[in-house]
Amino acid sequence: MPAMTTLDDRAVPTEAVTPLIRGVAVLRQLTEAGGTLSASGLERATGLARSTVDRIAATLARMGYVRLDGRDVVLAPPVMALGNAYLAALGLPALLSAHADALADALDESVSLAVGDRDGIRFIHQATRRRAMSLSFRIGDLLPAERTAPGPLFATEWTDAQWRSWRERRAADPEDRGFVAVPPREHLSSDADFERRAARARKDGWALDDQLIEPGLVAVSVPVRDPRAGGGGIACVANVVSHTSRHTAADLRDTLLPRLRAAVAEMERELREAPDARPAAAPAGLAVWTGASKQELGREFVESLARGLTVLTAFGEGRAELTLTDVARATGLARATARRALITYEHLGLVRQSGNRGFALTPSVLSLGYPPLSRTSLAQIATPHLAELADRVHESASLAVLTPSGEEIQYTARAATSRVMSVNITVGTRLPAYATSLGRVLLADLPPAERKLDDLAPLTPRTTTDPATLLGALEDARTRGYALVDEELEAGLRSVAVPVRDRTGRVVAAVNVAMHAARRSVEECVRDVLPELMETAGRVEADLRVAGRFARVAMA
């Protein structure tokens, strides 16, 4: 089936949760639109009443899954928790992504891992090379099987019913308009062409894509078989993508295929030797908070939608298959409520029955917001939080990173405030790290040997230029968790900064508030601004943890 663009037109089970179906439709439409759509656009795309769209958007905003930006509804990083639940339960990205990354480095070509999703393929990992002309596919993108290299390999395991479904989809959507990640098909091909490619893939054990998606794009794929599975079925497919300016399809086969096969052998060894996933502490009461939100927001909060979405996050590492009892326990929902949510998800293709009484997530969960956010940057994550901070404290707020030299900071995101006299710094500006609050927070996290404390030129009469004194200030910043710089960069400029840490606890950036010294004393900065700044950094870190679990977040 093509990617869903309206409410599912199949017969809806009588026990399905209608608000949950509608909420999923909104998330899918936002995903297909690139992450942002106006409320009126959502109304047109889903066929829902405007009042219904508004209530769904308000509920998703309460969950942190979207932001309401004027008339627009914008996907937010916390929605990636849904796709993360699937990827964690699958386990393959955690085990195999390092091998894919190493192969991409060795070949200097983009490498991806894909799984089959009905009669399409969906990416679960991307190691993309940065070039002027580079691959635009993202984690979670769905592609038609017949226009890819992995597709014929997955088709070797299709049942007769899957082949019938594929033919029906091809007849209904010959130009692939239901697949937003690929350009519409310009030249139609017969079903027999793909059937022959699948037969060839079964014989060869690998497959080629010779410009099937668009002119110039070529790829070669090899299946990664799970030796733990009884029949050694395909766990995923490793795919090397290039451009005809670098390799022809024949070149891929002759020069890169042997190295891809060697990498796949290492991946299969990894799967064979990996211990069984040990579940982390099982979550409990995931949906308990929804009752309080309903009381607070009243009719604007669709509790059945919020409860239903928490069911997806009950799955995860070591929790690939859950029984109804497991889901009810993890969410705190009544068994009947959890059962109705699972029935709804099975209807929508997001959950499948597994084993006798179990349920498992499907790759289609990645269609709920993951692709547009899988290539987000720290600056994009931080910007809305900085804007809220600037509104609260009525001062400019910024995010900066340390440059590779370690001597300067570079501003990567900023939210200015409206004042007659305000701090005028633009994104991209570089300043000496030693004389800024942002720089001192960043330098404080470095090992002493890596701190560049030479050539400390005085920028104002108050600039610290003694290395020993500066070293003490850095240790203070590390101990206290913040740095305050008072008129050392520029006369009259006072600023306070705190670190932003990634999932490992490493400081990757800093956020600050800067102001004219006449507006707040040092004591008032610490008392009034610092708590707001720390709260903002915490929100940025929370989003970064979710966004960076399986996707790369650009720091600069």
Reply yes or no on whether the pLDDT at 258 is more than 60: yes
**Lowest-confidence range among 34-48, 83-97, 216-230, 532-546?**
216-230
Instruction: Produce one character per residue of 305-320: b if its CB has 16 or more CB atoms within 10 Å, e if not.
Output: bbbbbbbbbbbbbebb
Q: Hey, what are 84's tokens?
A: 């993360």
3-state helix, strand, coil in the chain (%, to 5): 45, 20, 35
Whether the predicted pLDDT of 236 surpasses 60: yes
pLDDT at position 4 over 50: no
CA-based R_g, the chain, Å = 26
How many Å separate Cα 208 from the centre of its chain? Answer: 28
Q: Does domain 18-84+279-373 have CATH number 3.40.30.10?
A: no
State whether the Cα torsion 204-205-210-212 is positive or negative: positive
Q: What are the pLDDT digits (tens) for 262-303?
A: 999 999 999 999 887 776 677 788 898 999 999 999 999 999
Residue 144, strand partner residues: 120
**How sure is the predictor about 229, in pLDDT bands with cuts at 50, 70 and 90?**
low
Identify the CA nearest to 124 among candidates 150, 102, 147, 106.
150
CA angle 68, 534, 369 (to 5 degrees): 35
Residues 6+ apart with CB under 8 A from 152: 145, 194, 197, 198, 200, 201, 207
In this prediction, residues 504-517 reach a mean pLDDT of 95
CATH number for the region 378-547 comes to: 3.30.450.40
Q: Is 90 helix (H, G, I), strand (E, B) or coil?
A: helix
Least confident of 125-134, 260-269, 517-526: 125-134
User: Hey, what CATH topology would domain 92-273 get?
Assistant: Beta-Lactamase (3.30.450)
Cα–Cα distance, 536 to 482 (Å, whole number): 13
> For 74-84, what is the mean pLDDT?
98
Mean per-residue pLDDT over the chain, rounded: 92
pLDDT of residue 51: 97
CA distance 307 to 337: 9
Residue extents of the structural domains in the chain = 18-84+279-373, 92-273, 378-547
Q: Rounded to an integer, what is the distance from CA 328 to the centroid of its chain?
A: 27
Could you read off the pLDDT of 389-426 as tens digits, one per residue? Answer: 999 999 999 999 999 999 999 999 999 886 534 566 88
Residue 98 neighbours by CB under 8 Å, 6+ apart: none
CA proximity to 108, closest of 266, 240, 299: 240
**CA neighbor of 104 nearest in space, from 133, 125, 124, 129:** 129
Lowest-pLDDT choice from 254-263, 304-313, 350-359, 430-439: 350-359
C-alpha 283: how far from chain center: 22
The bridge status of strand 36-38 relative to strand 72-75 is antiparallel
Domains 92-273 and 378-547 share a fold: yes
Tell me the percentage of the chain whose pLDDT exceeds 70: 95
pLDDT tens per residue across span 308-360: 999 999 999 999 999 999 999 999 999 999 999 999 999 999 999 987 789 99
pLDDT for the residue 2 = 39
Alpha-carbon dihedral sign for residues 136, 198, 174, 364: negative
Mean pLDDT of all residues in 114-130: 93
**Would you state the pLDDT for residue 264?**
98
**CA–CA separation, 120 vs 529, rounded Å?**
51
pLDDT surpassing 90 at residue 155:
yes
Which residues, other chains included, contact 439 with Cβ-Cβ below 8 Å and sequence gap of 6+? 400, 402, 408, 409, 431, 432, 433, 510
Q: What average pLDDT does the segment 474-502 reach?
A: 95
